[in-house]
Structure formats: C-alpha cells, structure tokens
Amino acid sequence: MTTEFATRYGFDRADVGLANWRQAPFSHWAFQNVAEVVPTAWRAAAVMKHEEPGADPAILTQSFTVQGQRASLADHLAASATDLFTIMRGGEFLADWSAPYADPARPHLVFSITKSLTALVAGALEAQGLLSPEDPVTRFVPEAAQSAFGNATLRHLLDMTVQLQFDEAYLDPDSPFARYRRAMLWNPGNDGENLRQFLCTIPGQDCAHGGSFRYRSPVSDMLGVVVERAGGARLADLLDRLIWQKIGAQGPLGLTVDAIGTPRAAGGGLLAARDLARVGEMMRQGGMAPGGRVLPEAWVRDTVENGDRGDWERGDFPELLPGGAYRNQWYRAASGWFGAIGIHGQWLAVDPASETVLVKFSSQAEPVDDDQDQRNIALFEAIFQHFS
C-alpha cells in the first residue's frame, strides 16, 4: 500500500466494493464516497463552498463527564468512531471537528436521517395543498393496493405506525431485509427487482395500522415514492428546491437511487455536516431560515411537540428515549430536545432551551450499538447543559 489513498485509510480503493462498503474500516472512506459504490442523484451544487471556522473552537477542549468518564469533547468524539462533528448555537457555528481520515468538504452518508429530510418535503408539499396526512397511500401509489400499504394513510407513514410483516435485520444475509438492500442496489446480487417493486410485495400484519411505533425503513421509502408523485419531481430536486436553497446550504446534496431512479428515501442521503445543522436550526426557528419561510410553523410545532407517547412506549425501542415520541419521522426526547438518527452513529440533535444544534457523523462498526447510543445522548445532553 504505497498510494496516498492507502496511506490515509490503511487499505486500497480496490479493496472496497458493494459487498463490504458498510463494514469498518472500509466505511471510513465509503461513507463519504457512496456515489462511487451506489448510483446517486445530486442537486445542482456539487462543490462545497468555503466557510469560515467556527467562532469558539475552544469548546472542543472543554471537559465533559459522560457516564462517569471525564474527557475533552474532542477525546469523547475520537473514542466514538466520529467522522465529523459540528456545533451551532443561536444560529452561529461554534466549532467543527473531523477525524484524520474524514473530509469536511465531502458529503457524508446520513442513513436514516434521510427519513426526517423526506418528511420535510412532505410538510412543504402539504403546505402547497398537494397532499394531506389523511390521504390513502394508494392515492399516489395505486400499485401498492395489494401490499401492507394498501389500507395505510400518509399519517401512518409519517409516524411509522404501518404494521408490516418485515424486520430490520441489518446483518442477516438471508432475510427479506437483504433482498430489500439488493433491490436498492446497496448489496450485490440484484436479480432485476427494483425498490418500488419490492415495496409493493410486503404483506401486512393481521392487525390495523396505528397503535404502536414500528420502525421499518420501507415505510419511509414508500413515503419517498409518494412525495415524488405528489411533487411531480425527483426527491433530490424537491429537497434542493423546497429545503436546501432556502436554508442557505453550502454543500452537495445527494441521494442514492435504484436501477430505475427510485430514491432511497429511508437512508440514502449524502450531505455536509454544516448543512444538516442548518436544517436543525430551521426547525428550531419554527420553519424559518435565511431564505425565508421553509415550512409552516404549525407543521414544525406539531413535529417537535407532538407524537403519541403511548405509541412510542409500545414500540420497538422505547428504551432509546424513555418518555419520548416520534412524529413526522422525527424523534423527541422527554427533556425537550428533538432530532434525527441514523445507523452507524449519525445524529442531529436540537435543543431549543439552550439554542444548540449538534451534528455527529460517524462510522461505527455496528449498525446499531445501544450502549454507544446512550453515551452519545449523554454527551449531547451534557453539551446542552453547558450552554444552558
């Protein structure tokens, strides 16, 4: 390994392929270069604009106690497989941190944070009268009539209460989840099935939709199909026009797609850490951004203040945020902060009380690490407390 690439990452580019790109250490490179592995649609602006350093980089040397361990913020980040980290407070960037192998100028895969971004587009289209949460899914996707989505509404999609016969078995190569990943071109072995076709084959449970939070990524991919048809444009273009241009985004925005261009609305977003922070700040400001109103204040308030706590408690992982809620594909903690979460350690956390927005992009080895999730949450809450 004598190339500059190998010196930086510890392996050769030829070592990374469709079969291993989400595995460490290959993910250290792949999570910022997904378009070299999976087909990707991009917004027009594909180059990061220069931005000034944060106003208070000294916060990175500030010590925080997390689960009994006291260390500087930078050391906490380095110990948790962090690639990029950004702090914003009161609308001003305070500090940015990056791992030696990470490049702040390149977009990072945010996995399921993409769900929350897709929901923002749904909110914008609702404001234009192009869809309603009470609409049946089949108004926009009639070919889903014989699937679990055949008697679901957009509200069921938005709040993740569709009762599917499907499990998020990330590591099972023989599960329907593996077939799902082949259809989206994230895994090798695609047999010609595209993502939309796969979605329309998922059966429902023998119970009504609603009543409990069931985290199933195909629900968000179906939402992506709905918003494209309601908005009359590709999801990447809708995100650009309705959200990115208005928040003053400075970097690229990409979205992985399948063989016929179906967007991976549940997990294929590629974006810069600072631009995600701008999304969080827009939500903190009730839907306002430098480019004007992005979303109705009532929609934002509903998203960050509502959600059925009972549905969350009866759902798949209430222990993640005890007393929390889930609304419009966004999470809310009992203590008042809200945000978006993706596997392998992707976080957007917004605390209205301290006017703070945090973004953490990571390449954790495991898709789900419950202990690390709790350490991340404890760190975020310590930072919020510091600024309160």
What are the catalytic residues?
112
Longest distance between any two alpha carbons in the chain, whole Å: 59
What H or E segment, with its residue span, contains residue 387? helix 370-387
List C-alpha distances in Å: 16 to 21, 100, 174.
Answer: 6, 19, 22
The strands making up 330-332's β-sheet, listed across from edge to edge, are 92-98, 82-89, 356-362, 346-351, 338-342, 330-332, 325-327
Q: How many CA atoms lie within 13 A of 131 on its CB side?
A: 30
Cis check for the bond before 25: say yes or no (omega within 30 of 0): yes
Helix axis angle, 297-305 to 113-127, nearest 10° = 140
Q: How far apart are CA 76 and CA 60, in angstroms?
A: 10
The set of residues, in sequence order, having a beta carbon less than 8 Å from that of 150 and lying 6+ positions away, is: 137, 138, 144, 204
What H or E segment, with its residue span, contains residue 361? strand 356-362
**What count of other Cβ atoms lies within 10 Å of the Cβ of residue 277?**
21
List C-alpha distances in Å: 243 to 92, 290, 292.
Answer: 19, 11, 10
DSSP 252: -
